[in-house]
Structure 1
Amino acid sequence: MAALLSLLQIACSLHANLPQSCPQSCLCYDSSNLVECRGLELLVVPHHLPHSTWMLDLRHNNLSRLDPASFQALWSLRILLLSDNYIEVVSSRCFRSLGFLERLDISSNLLISLPLDFSRGLGSLRELRVPSNRLTSLNYESLRHLESLEKLDLSRNYLSTIEQGAFRGLSRLRHLHLQSNFLDSVRGGYFFMLQNLELLDLSDNNISSIAVESFTSLHSLRLLALSENQLSHLKFKTFLNLQTPSTHIQVSGNPWVCDCDLQRVFGKINSVRHLHIDDYDNLTCEGPSQLSGAALVSVDNQLCVAETATVLVITITVLVTVIAAIVMAERNRKKNQDKNWNDTDGPFETQDK
């Protein structure tokens, strides 16, 4: 790999010494290192871009696809901005020559999926932005070569399926944005190996269940956003597995069923020194019906009291019923015993007479 990078650097220096012109209609700055082709209604990526281009701005155009030759020989490219186009297709091997690219922004396009070799050639990429597209699923192969990635934004898509281990190769990832998608659960293994992850945003999805082992390997997590989902209950062990110095958790906007179990879970979470429920005061009850709309903080001390009182009433009722049954049984036993004695005395009295 080091030898390949050296060859690319030599090639870049050779091309930098050649006379290069700026593409028509685009603006070039700093000896063609920054090329701006923004808002020009371009249908294709301009050809013959200067090989020394360090930043390429193609935002707000009419691009619909990225072909294998779109960025050919742009070995010096560090920043590529493609947001606000109409890109539906990213062809195979599209980014294979961008070995030094550090930031790629494809937000606000029409992508339905990422090709399996999407990440091939992007070993230096540190930030990938793909929000506001139409992604429905995420494949393991698509991201596997992004070993330098630190920030990944997949928010505001239509993701309902994430393949097991899709983020497995992203060992340096620090920020993962998955908010505003259609995920209905968090499964164990989703975030395996993300030991450097600091921010995980899962807000505004349809999540109703979280596997107990989901966050086990997230040893650096500082913020876990779970607000605006479909959670009605939680398991304490799910969060106890977060072995971090300090983690802030956001859970407001969920349809909580306020009962003694929920109160106990939140009570235990709040008692753990390194876990913090940031928005506990904003939680409201969806159920049971008599508590609908009530603030959890205003009723949490009553939930287990009410349950204890109910259990006590039931226990007393059962106890009274049992005692009453015993008394009745004893009364019936004595009545039967007296009757038997009376039946026994009858013949003796007849004989005496």
Structure 2
Amino acid sequence: MAALFTPLVLIFATNANPSQFCPASCLCYDSSNLVECRGLELPIVPHHLPHSTWMLDLRHNNLSRLEPASFQALWSLRILLLSDNQIEIVLARSFRSLGFLERLDLSNNYLTSLPNDFSRGLGSLRELRVPSNRLTALSYESLRHMESLEKLDLSRNYLSSIEQGAFRGLSRLRHLHLQSNLLDSVRGGYFFMLQNLELLDLSDNNVSSIAVESFTSLHSLRLLSLSDNQLSHLKFKTFLNLQTPSTHIQVSGNPWICDCDLQRVFGKITSVRHLHIDDYDNLTCAGPPQLSGAALISVDNQLCVAETATVLVITITVLVTVIAAIVMAERNRKKNQEKNWNEPDGPFETQDK
């Protein structure tokens, strides 16, 4: 096994084949086409990387920017690991030579945005990881050329804004991680055209409202996580629009207002065969005050009792009032009829006298 990862001997002859060069301090493994430059405090991407490089490991360095020349002529590159650096800037066309790249990891950097041409040249990319950065917004232009993307991780950022249809070009996307951001709502155009999406993680945001049509096009969704947000109520139609074979939903950690409407919504959701609330037993009430902290499952049978009693009292009151009105009307009718019969006919009585 050791022979498989024998580092190349550095050759610096003037007529040497450039594909045999290996940057100083990096390790190049010819058998696996792996170039490892991990943890070397490099300020820039090394030059003269072997053209046959299949995997480039630049994790735990001091890179601060990516430029068009950073990965020039690395046409064979499939995996690029750039996590745990200080990358703040990605210049235009930085990935233009990476037409066969399948995995790009930018975790734990300082990116505040993805430039509009970020995806240019990344048509073969299948996995993009950008968690633990400083992203605040996401636009359609940043992702439009990633038609092969299957996994996208944007978790643990500061995303508060997503352009309508930002993911619409990602028709093959299966996993979308948006947890631990600052999103306050889920709008109707966010997940348009993601018919192959299987996992959508929106947990640990500030979501307080969800548009009814938000999940309409997610026909393959298996797991939807909405836990640890600011949801107090739900609309049943929002989930009824999930036309999937089977979807598991997570909603714990929200400030639920436990009332009859909420009980009815969850009751309807659980009655739909393909929808499953995984953590219903863990839901707690944030309101009304008398139910604060109570488990929803322990009070759900009582939530509609008061409302039912009120409706019953109102119904009985209305019924009694109607009956009383009918009785009084009938009495008045009979009185008027008797009065008419008992009144003398004036002209005839005068003639008799």
Aligned partner of 1:271 in structure 2 is 271
- What residue number does 2:340 align with? none
Matches within 5 A, 1:234-245: 234-245=234-245
Tell me the residue number matched to 2:10. Answer: none
Question: Partners of 1:313 and 1:198 in 2: how far apart?
Answer: 48
**How far does residue 311 in structure 1 lie from its aligned partner after superposition?**
2.8
Cα distance in 1 between the residues matched to 2:259 and 2:179: 28
The reply on whether 1:186 has 2:193 as its aligned counterpart is: no
- In structure 1, distance between residues paired with 2:317 and 2:259: 22
Q: How many percent of aligned residue pairs carry the same amino acid?
A: 90
Seen in structure 2, the aligned counterparts of structure 1 residues 212 and 19 have a Cα distance that, compared at 3 Å, is closer
Superposition pairs of residues 39-188 of structure 1, within 5 angstroms: 39-188=39-188
Give the gaps of 5 or more residues in structure 1: 1-15, 334-353
- In structure 2, what is the equivalent of residue 305 of structure 1? 305
Residue of structure 2 equivalent to 1:230: 230
C-alpha distance in structure 2 between counterparts of 1:96 and 1:134, whole Å = 24
Please say if residues 112 and 136 of structure 2, whose CA atoms lie closer than 8 Å, have aligned partners that are also in contact: yes
The whole-number CA distance in structure 2 between the counterparts of 1:310 and 1:60 is 65
Does the aligned pair in 1 maintain the 2:64–2:88 contact within 8 Å?
yes
SS at match of 2:109: coil
Whether 2:206 is the aligned partner of 1:213: answer: no
- Mapped partners of 1:314, 1:324: distance in 2: 15
Q: Is this contact kept in 1: 2:220–2:245, CA < 8 A?
A: yes
* Equivalent pair of 1:32/1:52 in contact (CA under 8 Å): no
- Where 1:301 maps in the other structure, the secondary structure is coil
TM-score when normalising by structure 2: 0.85
In 2, Cα distance between the equivalents of 1:19 and 1:34?
13
Query: Corresponding residue for 1:348?
Result: none
Q: CA deviation at 1:306?
A: 2.1
What SS does the corresponding residue of 1:104 show, helix, strand or coil? strand
Amino acid at match of 2:272: V
CA–CA separation in structure 2 for the residues paired with 1:27 and 1:18: 16
State the partner residue of 1:294.
294
Instruction: Compare the two structures and name the one with the higher helix fraction.
Output: 1
What residue number does 2:25 align with?
25
Counterpart amino acid of residue 151 in structure 2: K
Partner of 1:285: 285
Once residues 166 and 247 of structure 1 are traced to their aligned partners in structure 2, the CA distance between those partners, rounded to angstroms, is 23
Compute the displacement of 1:322 (Å). Answer: 8.7
Q: CA deviation at 1:313?
A: 3.8
Q: Secondary structure at the match of 2:35?
A: strand
Aligned-partner Cα distance in 1 for 2:202–2:121? 29
> Conserved in 2, the CA contact under 8 Å of 1:32 and 1:50?
no
The aligned amino acid for 2:23 is P
Give me the whole-angstrom Cα distance separating, in 1, the residues matched to 2:31 and 2:299: 67
Conservation of the 8 A alpha-carbon contact between 2:18 and 2:50: no
Bigger drift between 244-253 and 29-38 goes to 29-38
Q: Matched residue pairs, number?
A: 318
Aligned-pair RMSD on alpha carbons?
2.2
